[in-house]
C-alpha cells in the first residue's frame, strides 16, 4: 500500500499531461480580424530535434502527442549553438473571406528556415530560405525573410517551420497584411538609409583628412567605421541583399571578419589617439595584445567554423570594450580633454556592440534598444570621435602657431629637404610603377607577355598600321596533347614544357615590334608586324619543326611534344577590326588540330590550306 498510492497518482497524472499537451498543440491563433499585424512569436510552440528525426508531415499527423514548449519571452531566443528546432502554430480564420498576408522573419542571421503549411491532410513546403542559402531562394526580394500566406475563409492552417543556425537561434515572427507591411517597411528602411548615409559621410570626410594629414589615427578611425558599418549592415541583412545575394557562404565569415577588424582597429586607435605608450609596458601589452587577438580571429575565420569564431569575436569585443572604457575613465579623471571625447564615444559604440552580441547569444531579450543599439551607438561614436579628431587638429594648430617663429628660421632648409624627399619619392614611385607595368604585362610562368598586353598591343599596332600599307600576320600556337602530359608526368612537367615552348618562340622572334604572348593555358600567339602570309608561314614551320626536335629532359625521362599552328594575315584598314585576324588564326589552328596536329595551316582567300 505504501508504494501503491504514488504509482496510482503517477498513472492518473499521465493522461492529464497528454491532454494538456494536445490542447496546447490544437489551440489556434485567430487572424480573421487582423487588418495590420500580429506578433506570432509568443504564440509559437517549439521543440529541439538534434537527431533530425522529425519531419513536417510527421509533426502535422502526430504533433499533439509530442512535447512542445511555449516561449516565456515575447521572442523565442534559444541562444548560441542551439540544435535544429521545429516551430509550429495553427492559424484560424473565422471570417467569411480568405485571409492573405505576409509572414515575416526579421532575424536575418538564421542559417536555415524551412516553412511548411499543413491544410486538410496536405503538407506543402512553401519556402526554403535562410542566411546560408542564395538570396534568389527568397519568395520576395527583401532583406528580411518574407513568405506569402493565405488562410481560407472559416478554416485553419498549421504553420510548421524548421530553424537552424550556427550562431544564435532567434525566432521573431510576425504576420502582416500586405498594405500594412509595406507602410511599415518604408518607415523601417528610412533609419537604415540614414545610418548608411551618415556613416558614409563620416568615412569619406575622415578619409580625406587622412590623405591630407597622413595621421595614422585617421586610418584606424576609418577602418573602425567601415568595419562597424559592415557589422550593422550584416545584422540587418543589407549586405546579404545587395552585396553578394547569390553567395550566402560569405554572410557568416564577413560578419566575424568585420567584428575582428573592428577589434583590431579600435584598440590600435585607442592606443595611438590617447598616447598610451607613455604609461607602463603592461598597458601597451594589453591594448596591442587585443589588437593582435582581433587580427588572429580574422585569420582563424578563414579556417575554423563560424560557431567557434563568432564566440571568440564576441569574447574579445566584450573584453576590449571593458578595457577601453576603464582606460578612458581613468584618463578623464586625470583631466585629459581627449579622453572625455573618447570615453563617451566608445562607451556608446561598445555598449551597443555588447548588447547586440549578448542579445544574439541569448543573454538579453530581443528588445528594440538592444537590437538597434549598435546603430545608434555607431553614429554617436562616429560624430564624437570626429569632433575629437577636429579638436586634436585645433590643438596641434595652436602648437604650430607657437612654434612659428622657430619654423621660419629653418624654413629654407626644410623646403630643400622636402623638395629632395619629394623628388626621391617621385623617382621611387616612377620606378615602382614601371616595375608594376612590366609585371602586369608579363606571364608569371613563362616570362613572355600575357593576354592583357597582347590585346592592347594588337589593337595599338592595328590602329597604327591602318595609316600605311603594311600587312600584319598572326600565329596562333597550341601545345598538342598537353593534357596527356599533365596527366602522365604531372603539372610541374607541364609547366616545364610550357616554359620550353615559350623559350623556343622567343628565340624565333627577332625584329622590333614582333612579340610573343601567352594567350591562355597552353596557347601562345606571335604577332608579326610588316610580314606577309608567306613570311609568317616560314616562321611558323620553323617553330613547328624546332619544337618537334627539342624534347624536354625531365626526371631521367625524355618528353617529346609538338605544337599545332594556325596562321592568318590581313591588311589593316579603318573599316576592319583585329578580332577578324584573331578569328582567322584560330580557325586555322582548329584545322591544324583536326588534321592530325604537329602542322601549320594557313588561312587564305581560297580557304584554309596546309603548309608547306
pLDDT for residue 63 is more than 90: no
CA nearest to 324, candidates 373, 381, 364, 240: 381
CA nearest to 261, candidates 304, 316, 214, 208: 316
- Residue-wise pLDDT for 203-245, tens only, equals 887 788 778 777 777 788 888 888 888 887 887 788 887 887 8
Using a cut of 0.75, tell me whether the model's pTM lies above it. Answer: no
CA distances in angstroms from 197 to 5, 379, 388, listed in the order given: 71, 10, 21
pLDDT for residue 360 is more than 70: no
Hey, what's the cell of 446?
Answer: 613563362
- What is the distance in angstroms between the CA of the first residue and the CA of the last residue of the chain? 114
Candidate from 55-59, 325-329, 555-559, 566-570 with smallest mean pLDDT: 325-329
Which class for 419: exposed (0-12), middle (13-18), buried (19 or more C-beta within 10 A)? exposed
- Ranges of each domain in the chain: 22-176, 190-407, 451-611
**Alpha-carbon span 293 to 287, nearest angstrom:** 10
pLDDT for residue 116 is more than 90: yes
**Alpha-carbon span 185 to 164, nearest angstrom:** 26
The answer to whether 359 and 337 have CB atoms below 8 angstroms apart is no
Which pLDDT belongs to residue 364?
A: 63
- Residue-wise pLDDT for 442-462, tens only, equals 888 888 888 888 888 888 888
What percent of the chain lies above the pLDDT cut of 90? 19
Residue 92: other Cβ atoms inside 10 A: 17
pLDDT for residue 6 is more than 60: no
Which class for 175: exposed (0-12), middle (13-18), buried (19 or more C-beta within 10 A)? buried
Enter the CATH code of domain 451-611: 3.30.70.270
Enter the CATH code of domain 22-176: 2.60.40.2380
In terms of DSSP H, where are the helices of 441-508?
A: 451-465, 482-489, 491-508
524 pLDDT tier (thresholds 50, 70, 90): very high
Q: How remote is the C-alpha of 161 from its chain's centroid? A: 28
Angle between helices 373-402 and 178-213 in degrees, nearest 10: 20
Residues that are catalytic: 522
Q: What DSSP element (H or E) covers 407?
A: helix 404-409
pLDDT for residue 144 is more than 70: yes
Which pLDDT belongs to residue 366?
A: 53
For the residues 519-539, what does the mean pLDDT come to?
90
Residue 55: other Cβ atoms inside 10 A: 15
| DSSP secondary structure letters along 88-140 | EEEEEE-SSS-EEEEEEE--TT-SEEEEEEEETTEEEEEEEE-TTS-GGGSSS
Range 190-407 has CATH code 1.20.1070: yes
**Alpha-carbon span 79 to 612, nearest angstrom:** 77
pLDDT for residue 112 is more than 50: yes
Amino acid at each position: 500500500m505504501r508504494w501503491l498510492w504514488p504509482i496510482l497518482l503517477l498513472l492518473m497524472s499521465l493522461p492529464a499531461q497528454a491532454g494538456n499537451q494536445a490542447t496546447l498543440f490544437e489551440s489556434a491563433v485567430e487572424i480573421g480580424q487582423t487588418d495590420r499585424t500580429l506578433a506570432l512569436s509568443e504564440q509559437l510552440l517549439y521543440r529541439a530535434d538534434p537527431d533530425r528525426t522529425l519531419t513536417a508531415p510527421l509533426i502535422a499527423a502526430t504533433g499533439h502527442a509530442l512535447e512542445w514548449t511555449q516561449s516565456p519571452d515575447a521572442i523565442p531566443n534559444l541562444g548560441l549553438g542551439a540544435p535544429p528546432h521545429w516551430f509550429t502554430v495553427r492559424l484560424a480564420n473565422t471570417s467569411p473571406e480568405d485571409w492573405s498576408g505576409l509572414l515575416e522573419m526579421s532575424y536575418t542571421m538564421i542559417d536555415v528556415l524551412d516553412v511548411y503549411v499543413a491544410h486538410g491532410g496536405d503538407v506543402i513546403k512553401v519556402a526554403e530560405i535562410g542566411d546560408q542559402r542564395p538570396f534568389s531562394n527568397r519568395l520576395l526580394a527583401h532583406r528580411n525573410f518574407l513568405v506569402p500566406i493565405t488562410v481560407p475563409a472559416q478554416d485553419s492552417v498549421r504553420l510548421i517551420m524548421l530553424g537552424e543556425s550556427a550562431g544564435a537561434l532567434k525566432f521573431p515572427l510576425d504576420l502582416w497584411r500586405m498594405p500594412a507591411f509595406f507602410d511599415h517597411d518604408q518607415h523601417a528602411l528610412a533609419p537604415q538609409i540614414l545610418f548608411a548615409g551618415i556613416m558614409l559621410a563620416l568615412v569619406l570626410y575622415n578619409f580625406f583628412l587622412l590623405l591630407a594629414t597622413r595621421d595614422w589615427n585617421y586610418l584606424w578611425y576609418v577602418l573602425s567605421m567601415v568595419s562597424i558599418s559592415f557589422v550593422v549592415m550584416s545584422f540587418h541583412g543589407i549586405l546579404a541583399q545587395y552585396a553578394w545575394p547569390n553567395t550566402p557562404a560569405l554572410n557568416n565569415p564577413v560578419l566575424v571578419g568585420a567584428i575582428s577588424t573592428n577589434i583590431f582597429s579600435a584598440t590600435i586607435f585607442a592606443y595611438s589617439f590617447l598616447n598610451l605608450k607613455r604609461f607602463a609596458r603592461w598597458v601597451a601589452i594589453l591594448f596591442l595584445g587585443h589588437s593582435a587577438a582581433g587580427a588572429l580571429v580574422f585569420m582563424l575565420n578563414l579556417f575554423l567554423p563560424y560557431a567557434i569564431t563568432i564566440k571568440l569575436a564576441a569574447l574579445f569585443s566584450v573584453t576590449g570594450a571593458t578595457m577601453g572604457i576603464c582606460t578612458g575613465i581613468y584618463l578623464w579623471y586625470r583631466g585629459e580633454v581627449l579622453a572625455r571625447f573618447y570615453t563617451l564615444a566608445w562607451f556608446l559604440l561598445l555598449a551597443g556592440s555588447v548588447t547586440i552580441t549578448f542579445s544574439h547569444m541569448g543573454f538579453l531579450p530581443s528588445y528594440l534598444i538592444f537590437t538597434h543599439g549598435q546603430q545608434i551607438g555607431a553614429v554617436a561614436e562616429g560624430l564624437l570621435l570626429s569632433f575629437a579628431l577636429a579638436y586634436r587638429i585645433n590643438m596641434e594648430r595652436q602648437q604650430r602657431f607657437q612654434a612659428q617663429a622657430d619654423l621660419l628660421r629653418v624654413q629654407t632648409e626644410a623646403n630643400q629637404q622636402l623638395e629632395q624627399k619629394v623628388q626621391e619619392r617621385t623617382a621611387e614611385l616612377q620606378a615602382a610603377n614601371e616595375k608594376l607595368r612590366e609585371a602586369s604585362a608579363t606571364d608569371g610562368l613563362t616570362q613572355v607577355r600575357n593576354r592583357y598586353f597582347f590585346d592592347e598591343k594588337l589593337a595599338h599596332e592595328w590602329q597604327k598600321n591602318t595609316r600605311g600599307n603594311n600587312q600584319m600576320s598572326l600565329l596562333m600556337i597550341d601545345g598538342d596533347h598537353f593534357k596527356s602530359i599533365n596527366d602522365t608526368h604531372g603539372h610541374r612537367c607541364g609547366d616545364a614544357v610550357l616554359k620550353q615552348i615559350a623559350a623556343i618562340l622567343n628565340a624565333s622572334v627577332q625584329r622590333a615590334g614582333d612579340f610573343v604572348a601567352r594567350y591562355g593555358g597552353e596557347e601562345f600567339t606571335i604577332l608579326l608586324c610588316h610580314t606577309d602570309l608567306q613570311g609568317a608561314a616560314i616562321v611558323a614551320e620553323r617553330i613547328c619543326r624546332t619544337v618537334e626536335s627539342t624534347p624536354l629532359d625531365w626526371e631521367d625521362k625524355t618528353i617529346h611534344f609538338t605544337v599545332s599552328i594556325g596562321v592568318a594575315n590581313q591588311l589593316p584598314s579603318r573599316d576592319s577590326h583585329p578580332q577578324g585576324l584573331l578569328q582567322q588564326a584560330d580557325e586555322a589552328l582548329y584545322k591544324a588540330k583536326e588534321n592530325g596536329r604537329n602542322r601549320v595551316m594557313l588561312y587564305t582567300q581560297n580557304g584554309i590550306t596546309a603548309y608547306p
